[in-house]
Structures are given as structure tokens and as C-alpha cells.
Amino acid sequence: MMKKVESMQHPASEGRAKAVVLSAMMLAVTAIAACSSDSDPSPFGPAPDADLNVFGVRGDAELVRFSATDPSKLETVGTVSALGTGESIVGIDFRPTGPTTGDLHAVTSTGRSLILDPETAMATVIQPIAGDGTALTGNRIGVDFNPAANALRIIGDDGKNLRVPTAALTNPAPAMAVNTLVDGVMGYQQGVTAAAYTNAEVGLEGTVLYVIDTENDVLYTQNANLGPLTLVGPLGVDASGVNGYDIYYSEADMANEHYAALTVGAESGLYSIDPATGAATLLGALRGNAYAAVVVARDDDTSPAAQRDVFALAAGDMADQLEPYTLTLGATPTLVDTGDTLTFNGLMDGERVLGLDIRTTSLEEDKDTGYVLTSASRVAAVIDNATDPMVLDLAEAVTLSVPLSGTQFGVDFNPRADLLRILSDTAQNLRVNLQEGRELA
């Protein structure tokens, strides 16, 4: 059942040749684009300017330069000065706006900021990146100026998201250190405990993250990484709890169907959610009165087009049990309890299942596999038991290095990034990369 580059051209300072800074991956892309002829239009856009210089860092500290029209002729500018033992350059970018337009800025592995001379690689040390939570801890770092805010954006593959303000990038350094801003969950509300992505099917473009806030009984869309919420509208019911939220993509209708398990009064039921208005409509009652998650699926080979399989994860006294239902769509939708109960095999003593979702857009061998989040900060794959159809085996995929915080959790796969999103009622906001076996905070 559960197996069911962008290159950026920067304005140059007076008298200086135009230049761009590219990552190592983009160097290869530029080389491919430069080989296309005028008679064979390139998907990478128009040919680069003949006087466009490209700068990059090779190894830990070698500043290099070449022409965008002939990337094969690489010129070494020099070794970046002022680096300590084991320190390396993790990113560079030209400053596109402001009084020091055209300065080449560099960020080091130890969190220091430098201004590099593009003719000699000599470095001028300015204020280091300062402030709580600003240490660079990722394996891969991205550095780029925001031309509108004139601030330096630094991101890492561990989820780090920093914004270095203009005042911290001056030469000489300011008399008092200017702290870097740590972005990530600004605007996030603690009442949000259920989340679901649209377009959860291979081959679809774009996705939107919807979340339900039962403290205010409203539906939002959320900027997944930064956290700001955009109001869609009220649910229209007084929900004391949201017990799961899932979006099913119907290939037949080319539409996203929104379903949520809500507790209204003392009753838990399955509701459809209107993504345009936020309105919740009761489809049918659920067996118990406490649930942690809901997932919706359909076996395309055997189920009627208007039928959905609904799986509700029980909580409370019936925790760690999965209840199957059959939903039949139509003018008057009907929800039928199958009466079956599925249990999980592989939980440790005291461990509870907090949420689950089906991975729909991963590699072929993982597609349509269910995954659960447990109270032991584990993510585990759900596999059919070889002998008992009412038992689901758990195969551990990831143990989170960040402890879970909260009592209610929303769990849903991002179909575009193939990352598992985890939200909690304490505003915890995690992404889990199952391929690499780690979370991105």
C-alpha cells in the first residue's frame, strides 16, 4: 500500500573591464554556451560580450580570469593573500551598486570578508561576518550581492541563510561591528502545524506550499524556506486541531485536490479545502477523535478514477495505527471506513509516529514509498510486511541531528526539490534530504 546558472553581469567601476564571477559549475556551462554558432541558437541565450572577463577561484585560494568568449585560455591572477592556515575562499562576487561599485568581495571558510584586487589577488581584510548563528557550517557556500538592497547574501547547503548589510562591508571596517542578519523563519507563525505541497507528481513544473493555522482557523501559502505567510482565507469552521493535510494531484482532471483531517467540536472528520478561498467542507467522519496525519493516494491500475484511498494516522490512545478509508468523489462525496487497522513494526519502546507522507517524485526505486517521522527524531521508510498485510515494517532512512521541537508536526514532501518538509507548532522548520541522509535547517 505504502509502496504504492545563472551568470550575473555586474556593472564595473569607471575604466574597469566588465566582469562576472561564476561558480565552478557555471564555468563549464559558459564553455558549452561559447561553442554554439549564430546559426544554431543556444538555449543559454545570446553569445557573451567579447570584453566580458570571468573571474573564479580554483582550489582554495587561486584567483583566475578568462574571457567569456574563450574560456580555454585561463590566466592566473595570483594567490589570495591574507589567508590563515587551512582557510579557503568559499565565494566571491562583485558589488553591483553603491559607492564602491565594482569591488570584488570574497568570503572565507572562517567567516572573514575580504576585498580582492582583481589585478593582483591582494586582499584587504574588512569586518568579519559577525553575530549569533552566523558561523559557516555547510560544505557548499553560495555568495551573491542583492543589487536592490546592496547586501551580500550567503547561503549554505546546510540551510544557512545570511544577509550581510551594507554597513558591514565598508573599507575601512566600521568602528563598531555590524551584525549579519540570519534569515530563515521570519514571519513564521507557531499556530501552523499542517503543510502540503501542490503538483506532487513527476513532470509537473512549480509547487506551492499550503499550511493550515488552527489557532486562527485560516489557510495560508508559505515561502517554504524563509517562512513568511500569505493569507488565502478562513476555513469557515472552528477547528481545535488539524490532524493532517495532504494534496493529491489528479492526472485526469489536471488539478490539485486538498484534503485535511480536522477536529471540529469533539469530532474528527475528513474535509476538502478550497485553495482559492480556504473554505473547509466536511466529506465524512473519521473513526476516532485524535489523529496525527492523513495521506491520500490512488492505485491508478485498479481504482476507479473517482476513488481515493485515504490513510489516517491515529494519535492519543490509538497512536501508531493507520486507518484506511475509501473516498468516492461526485456531487455528494462519500467516505467509507474499511474497518481495517494497520500497525507499524520497528518502533522502539516509547517511540511514536508523528507524521507521514508518500514520496511521489523521487528516483524510480523510491517513488510512491511512504515515510514516517517518529518521536525519536527518525525518518523511516514504510514497507509492506512479507507475511502480514495488516503490518507495515519501518526501515530507517535518516536520524535527525537536530532534535524535534513541538507536540504537533506537519510532514510533506516538496515534489520539486524531493526534500521532506517538517513543520512544528513551535515554529521548527526543517528540510530533510533522504538521498544524503541529513536535514537542512
pLDDT on residue 300: 56
pLDDT of 378 over the 90 cut: yes
Residue 436 lies in a domain: yes
Q: Which of 403, 421, 424 is nearest to 413 (CA)?
A: 421
pLDDT at 189 (0 to 100)? 52
Rounded to 5°, the CA angle 297-303-306 comes to 80
Spatial separation of the C-alpha atoms in residues 298 and 175, rounded to whole Å = 63
**Domain end among 182, 210, 245:** 182
User: What is the distance between the alpha carbons of residues 19 and 30, in angstroms, rounded to a whole number?
Assistant: 13
How confident is residue 42, by pLDDT bands cut at 50, 70 and 90?
A: very low
- Separation CA 55–CA 92 (nearest Å): 9
Q: Is 4 a domain residue?
A: no
Using one digit for the tens of pLDDT, what is the confidence trace for 192-202? 667 777 887 77
Which of the 8 DSSP states describes residue 401? S
Task: Write the DSSP symbol of residue 341.
Answer: -
The rounded distance, in Å, linking the Cα atoms of 194 and 58 is: 44
Q: Same domain for 240 and 129?
A: no
250 vs 334: CA distance, rounded Å: 18
pLDDT of residue 304: 64
Task: Give the H or E element holding residue 27.
Answer: helix 24-34
140-178 exposure pattern, b = at least 16 Cβ within 10 A, e = fewer: ebbbbbeeeebbbbbbbebbbbbbbebebbeeebeeeeb
User: 203 and 168: one domain?
Assistant: no
**Binning pLDDT at 50, 70 and 90, where does residue 2 land?**
very low
* Tally of CB atoms within 10 A around 355: 27
How many domains are contained in the chain?
2
CA dist 71 and 53 (Å) reads 10
Same domain, 262 and 363: yes
CATH code, domain with 380: 2.115.10
**405 shares its domain with 263:** yes
Contact 263, 294 (CB under 8 A): no
Report if residue 89 sits inside a domain: yes
What tens digit of pLDDT does each residue of 91-113 get?
887 776 666 777 888 889 988 88
Q: Does residue 2 belong to any structural domain of this protein?
A: no
**Residues 305 and 328 grouped into a single domain:** yes
Give the residues across from 221 on adjacent strands: 210, 230
**Residues 230 and 148 placed together within one structural domain of the fold:** no
* Residues 347 and 243 reside in one and the same domain: yes
Identify whether 315 is part of a domain. yes
The answer to whether the bond into 172 is cis (omega within 30° of 0) is yes
Of the residues 122, 156, 182, the one at which a domain ends: 182
Mean pLDDT for the stretch of residues 416-421: 84
The β-bridge partners of 383 are 393
Q: How many angstroms from the chain centroid is the CA of residue 193?
A: 17
Last residue of a domain, one of 146, 161, 182: 182
Does residue 3 fall inside a structural domain? Answer: no
pTM: 0.54
What is the average pLDDT across 335-352? 93
pLDDT at 208 over 50: yes
Enumerate the β-bridge partners of residue 241: 263
- CA distances for 314 relative to 244, 286, 287, 322, 343, angstroms: 10, 10, 9, 6, 10
User: Is the same domain home to 292 and 331?
Assistant: yes
Asked if residues 75 and 119 have their Cβ atoms less than 8 Å apart, the reply is: no
Same domain, 243 and 378: yes
d(CA 113, CA 136): 12
CA distances (Å), origin 27, targets 23, 34, 76, 95, 282: 6, 11, 15, 20, 55
In a domain, 395, yes or no: yes
CA 22-432-226 angle, to 5 degrees, is 65
- Residues constituting the chain: 441
Domain span at 329:
192-440
Residue 149 sits in the same domain as residue 217: no
The answer on 142 and 224 residing in a single domain is: no
From 10-24, 57-71, 143-157, 279-293, the region with the lowest mean pLDDT? 10-24
Q: What mean pLDDT do residues 234-246 have? A: 84
The verdict on residue 294 lying in a domain is yes
How many angstroms separate the CA atoms of 365 and 239, rounded? 38
The answer to whether residues 100 and 118 belong to one domain is: yes
Summarize pLDDT for 50-91 with one digit per residue, the tens.
444 667 777 788 888 765 455 556 688 899 998 999 999 888
Share of the chain above pLDDT 90, in %: 19
| Parallel, antiparallel or unpaired: strands 19-21 and 53-58 | parallel
Counting residues of the chain whose pLDDT is more than 70, the rounded percentage is 70
